[in-house]
Structure 1
Amino acid sequence: MSLNEVHISSLVVHCTPHHLDEVKTQIEQFDNAEIYGESPEGKIVVVLETENQGFITDTIETINNLPNVLSTALVYHQIETGLDENDSKNNNTGTQYSQTEGEV
């Protein structure tokens, strides 16, 4: 069951503005971590995609303990299971019928 599970999380990391580039470089070294945005005030949006929740909590703690990081906050966490089955069933029926009904 856990092999078919994907955890998607987003974090906001707040660091000292002067060290923004340095902290971004350190975050980019983490497996499964991507930076999706930043602000000149030292805020960084990070997205994690993992197979288990333990990696998320460990990564948050590690990022929070980096030099010049002021805080790290989990903003979003979603668990996807059985992506192949549910995705194909949901997308193939509803969209096609809605378009046909709208055109008639």
Structure 2
Amino acid sequence: MSLNEVHISSLVIHVLPQHLESIKAQIEEFENAEVYGDSPEGKIVVVLETENQGFITDTIDAINNLPNVLSTVLVYHQIETDLEQLDEDTGIQQSQTEDEV
């Protein structure tokens, strides 16, 4: 049985401020990555929507390896399962946060 999963994660990436725009452009090139905001101090908020957890760790490693990136931190991770099947008894979608895993 295969689960229909979506992993929703957010990252905070700290970069050298003078390289903020170029790093944001490079992050936008990653599949399933979207820049949601940034600050003049060089912090970028990125949201990932992926089918598996391996993509999250691979993306963190890849971003960390970009020149002028100081750090990449996972700050949120949620797993949505069985998105097309509602719970038959309640009609509520099933959701699980990383704390419950």
Look up the match of 1:50: 50
Look up the match of 1:100: none
Q: What is the TM-score when the length of structure 1 is the normalising length?
A: 0.81
Q: What is the TM-score when the length of structure 2 is the normalising length?
A: 0.83
Task: Tell me how far apart the structure 2 counterparts of residues 43 and 74 of structure 1 sit (CA, whole Å).
Answer: 13
Q: Give the number of the structure whose alpha-carbon radius of gyration is greater.
A: 1
1:64 aligns to 2:64 (yes or no): yes
**How many pairs are equivalent?**
90
SS of the equivalent of 1:90 reads coil
- Which structure: greater helix fraction? 1
- Which structure: greater strand fraction? 2
Look up the match of 2:38: 38
1:6-25 equivalences under 5 Å are 6-25=6-25
Task: Tell me how far apart the structure 1 counterparts of residues 24 and 6 of structure 2 sit (CA, whole Å).
Answer: 24
Look up the match of 2:98: none
Q: Which structure 1 residue ranges, 4+ long, deviate > 2 Å from structure 2?
A: 84-88
SS of the equivalent of 1:84 reads coil
SS of the equivalent of 1:55 reads helix
- Cα offset, 1:86, TM superposition: 2.9
